[in-house]
Homo-oligomer: A and B are copies of this chain.
Amino acid sequence: MSLVVVGSVAYDGVETPHGRVDRMLGGAATYIALSASAFTDVRIVAIVGDDFADEDTKLLESRGIDLEGLERVPGKCFFWRGKYSDDMNDRETLQTDLNVFADFSPKLPESYKKAPYLFLGNIQPGLQGGVRAQMNGVRLTGGDTMNYWINDFRPQLLETIRQWDFLLINDSEAKLLSGESNLRRAAERILAMGPHTLIIKRGEYGAMLFREGQLFMVPGYLLDNVFDPTGAGDCFAGGFIGYLAEKGFDLDAGGVDKKELHRAVIYGSVMGSFCCEKFGVDRFRTLTRKEIDARFEEFRRFTEF
């Protein structure tokens, strides 16, 4: 079933211990959409400048991603440049040029409005709320946020996420949002803010899902080489909601069995792990569903007892 994805489509410059790329396709919506497109049909809402390359349009189209909502305006695409630490658990932002993204005011094409699944990538919380308001009968809404919005746009963020079914953030964001350093207590507080489901990403250490009376945890996939972790969290999001959309699940009581929700977390982990294997979105140029399902089974083998 159709999934609408909102967020940034950008160019990134990335340096990791494995190398450096000065300019490559990036942005949260790009990663979420590429990942989710392995499971379901995806419609992007984003903005790009007139420097957005034909080959990048073609890559997205080749995965069946609907670009009617990709607004093209004069100017340059959002550009981010960063450098990862040696262990790749930290990164330093060296440059952020918002460019056309500064005036992003998401407008949904008519054909998007009845899509049942919506994922709101990390953008200003008011814009996230505005997108949801344009949807007509959305069945499942989830989204991401970041430290900047939690600190400086807290009331607006709380108002926005109150309407979401799930929130998908990392552990430091969960601690910041809840004011609790213990993740179990942090989760309790966040589940009282509106979303009935919380997924906490822990980078190389895996992920957790919290719901009332339900906890699921999975360790991170152990890669031989992490080439570039950029976008891994967004690919997790794409795998998680992509699997739910493929199966037509919602998250209401009775809408999905517990184990299926656990499997959605595994598919998220699988997609995040593939993302790290090459620079930028490169792994998605060749990734097949067969490889995805094989890694899903690998997760089963190394966690079963």
> What residues of chain B lie closer than 8 Å to A184, measured between beta carbons?
222-224
Against B, the Cβ 8 Å flags (1 = close, 0 = not) of A235-259 are 0000000000000000000000001
Q: Is A286 an interface residue (CB 8 A)?
A: no
User: In the assembly, what is the distance between CA of A262 and CA of B301, in Å?
Assistant: 11
Q: Is A300 an interface residue (CB 8 A)?
A: yes
Contact check, A183 vs B222: say whether CB atoms are below 8 A apart: yes
Contact check, B305 vs A181: say whether CB atoms are below 8 A apart: no
Count the A residues whose beta carbon is within 8 Å of the partner chain — how many?
Answer: 33
Against B, the Cβ 8 Å flags (1 = close, 0 = not) of A186-228 are 0000000000000000100110100000011111001111100
Contact check, B87 vs A181: say whether CB atoms are below 8 A apart: yes
> What residues of chain B lie closer than 8 Å to A218, measured between beta carbons?
219, 303, 305
Q: Is A154 an interface residue (CB 8 A)?
A: no
Copies in the complex: 2
Q: Is A54 an interface residue (CB 8 A)?
A: no
Contact check, A304 vs B262: say whether CB atoms are below 8 A apart: yes
Q: Which residue of B lies closest to A298 (CB)?
A: B215
Q: Which of A158-196 contact B (CB under 8 A)?
A: 181-185
* Selected contact of A259 from candidates B182, B208, B304, CB within 8 Å: B304
Q: Is A148 an interface residue (CB 8 A)?
A: no
Contact check, A302 vs B182: say whether CB atoms are below 8 A apart: no
Nearest CB in chain B: distance from A266 CB, A: 6
Q: Which residue of B lies closest to A210 (CB)?
A: B222
User: In the assembly, what is the distance between CA of A185 and CA of B219, in Å?
Assistant: 18
Contact check, B302 vs A216: say whether CB atoms are below 8 A apart: yes
> What residues of chain B lie closer than 8 Å to A219, measured between beta carbons?
205-206, 208, 217-219
Q: Is A265 an interface residue (CB 8 A)?
A: yes
Nearest CB in chain B: distance from A257 CB, A: 11
Q: Which residue of B lies closest to A223 (CB)?
A: B184
Given contacts A183-B222, A217-B219, contact A305 B265 (CB under 8 A): yes
Chain A interfacial positions (CB closer than 8 Å to B): 86-87, 181-185, 202, 205-206, 208, 215-219, 222-226, 259, 262-263, 265-266, 299-305
15 A-B Cβ contacts within 8 A?
A: A182-B224, A182-B225, A184-B224, A185-B224, A205-B205, A215-B222, A215-B302, A216-B303, A216-B305, A217-B222, A218-B303, A218-B305, A262-B305, A263-B305, A300-B305
